[in-house]
């Protein structure tokens, strides 16, 4: 075994000490199916054309320009929408009254809450500096789905029983 390891530099480089004896009898190209190396990567890296490092590690981070839809205003709005969903979700079932205005506000907050959540996921997983075209496409796709959902809930509220009555009927079925 020691002579095989000395003869084969490839076996010496692999850190698979538990598999060295069975691999010594196989072809070297069939060593490990999912071996990650620079030549054969499972997923290629994202394009790096737009990623350029300016300055040094000692430079201060740039301060972004304040904008009302970002930062603390945005965070406060997200928390208000999330906190507003809690009483609006339980009020129609506890109070026993069905109010179309309450249904409309509940549907609106659900749509806004979902849009903000999916937008945060898109921004986190598809950074604009790495994949700007994908980010733009996904943002427009999200806007389309949000609009479709809002129109669908509006039609359900005006031409059918409404969301709270539908949930009551399903719950009692």
Complete DSSP assignment for 71-106? THHHHHHHHHHHHHHHHHHHHHHHH----HHHHHHH
Q: Is 54 annotated as a binding residue?
A: no
Tokens of 136: 């733009």
Q: Is 125 annotated as a binding residue?
A: yes
Among candidate residues 106, 89, 86, the one with its CA nearest the CA of residue 150:
106
Dihedral through CA 135, CA 120, CA 71, CA 131, nearest 10? -20
In this predicted structure, what is the pLDDT of residue 18? 47
- Residues, the chain, total? 173
In this predicted structure, what is the pLDDT of residue 142? 98
Domains, the chain, in order of start with CATH, read: 81-171 (1.20.1300.10)
Encode the chain (173 residues) as per-residue pLDDT tens digits.
555 545 555 555 554 444 455 545 555 555 555 555 556 556 666 666 555 666 777 777 777 777 766 677 778 889 999 999 999 888 877 776 677 888 888 999 999 999 999 999 999 999 888 889 999 999 999 999 999 999 999 999 999 988 888 888 888 87
Burial of 78 (0-12, 13-18, 19+ CB in 10 A): middle
In this predicted structure, what is the pLDDT of residue 103? 87
């Amino acid at each position: 075994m020691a002579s095989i390891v000395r003869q084969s530099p490839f076996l010496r480089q692999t850190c698979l000490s538990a598999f060295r004896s069975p691999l010594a009898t196989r072809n070297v190209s069939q060593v490990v199916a999912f071996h990650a190396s620079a030549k054969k990567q499972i997923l290629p890296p994202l394009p790096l054309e737009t990623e350029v490092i300016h300055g040094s590690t000692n430079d201060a981070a740039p301060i972004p320009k304040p904008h009302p839809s970002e930062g603390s205003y945005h965070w406060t709005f997200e928390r208000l929408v999330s906190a507003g969903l809690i009483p609006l979700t339980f009020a129609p079932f506890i109070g026993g009254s069905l109010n179309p205005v309450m249904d409309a506000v509940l549907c609106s907050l659900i749509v806004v809450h979902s849009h903000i959540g999916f937008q945060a996921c898109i921004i986190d997983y598809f950074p604009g500096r790495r994949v700007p075209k994908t980010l733009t496409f996904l943002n427009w796709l999200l806007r389309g789905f949000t609009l479709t959902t809002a129109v669908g809930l509006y039609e359900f509220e005006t031409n059918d029983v409404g969301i709270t009555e539908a949930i009551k009927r399903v719950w009692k079925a």
